[in-house]
Structure 1
Amino acid sequence: MVGRNLKRLRQRSGLTQDDLAERLHVTRQAVSAWETGKNQPDAETLTALAEALGTDIRELIYGPGAVEEGYARFQRRYVVCTVLCAVVVLAWLVMEVTLEPYLYRLRMETFTVLPGLVYLLVVPPLGVLAAGCLIPAFASLWADIRVRSVRARRVLLVLGLLALLYYIVWAAAYSGLLPRILNQWRPWWLWVMKLATVGNDLLRYSSMAVSGCTLFLSLNR
């Protein structure tokens, strides 16, 4: 019975026998023996298996779904994450109203571009990234939205990093840093500059929001 439950829970987590064996610092043959019933894990091993699979030891004994516990609302980590993201978003909105007009006027009067460029490339994207993270963090205060599958979390992590990479490439091209680095590959550099021109605010900032949301979900275990 334990062996069958172990196999189902391992598959639910998206792990192979090798993955689970690596987490427990045992051989794949040991995991296989537990799943086929040739050997029975002791109490200490059952506890380690439950921790490695992110489940309750009772699910290993009685089967997946045997433990139905209510989701703990307003967990501290989600409260802290929600408050931090909300503070960043609020600070960004306040700066949009107060600081951004000042920087625009400074550029018009003194032709000083650097402060406005730094603001454009740093503050709004951080605000949008925090807003994207704020949505799932706020939802987690009331509901369990954790992604159980390890494979699915890895996919979300890759998507989040790719969305973040798009903005980094755009920022490097917009600031002039990328052309200087890639000047020897002029055809590719022209293509990147075209991408930077086409990438409007909606596309760039939506990619940052998606990045914040997917990175939160991929790292929330």
Structure 2
Amino acid sequence: MNENLGRRIAELRGKAGLTQQELAERLAVSRVTVSHLEAGLTVPGERTVALLASVFQLEPHELVAGTSYPAAKAERLPVVVARYTEVAHQLALLDNDLAWLEHVPARHRQAVIARWESVLADLAEVTHDERERRALREARERLRSLRTSRHER
């Protein structure tokens, strides 16, 4: 028996820590639309499935596999979608650089930190998602504390 796609969407939304309103904003639909999708009252179109898959960091076919999503619609889904936003990508790169930073001569650390402060500031200027803005603020604070702790040594 196939799983209800709406239940899968609700479960993934919960795991992602998103409210229906937050998910609706990411999809550019109303909260009522998300509620109807999760309740199985409406079947999402291909565009919505692609956006949902992206939000949940899945491919569209992974999202609908084993569900009651119509096969004819599934055939028209894109094979891949962007799984990560630019903010998520840059924050992952920052984490890699911070792990590497411990092995860098002190004179180079400050240049790396300064470059990342600039990158994160630029991203903060163009990011509209509140969760991503918060993640950028936290990353910038980590860099400030690194800069401060490096000066005290």
Structure 2 length as normaliser, TM-score?
0.50
Relative to its length, the structure with more helix (as a share) is 1
Higher relative contact order (CA 8 A, sep 6+): 1
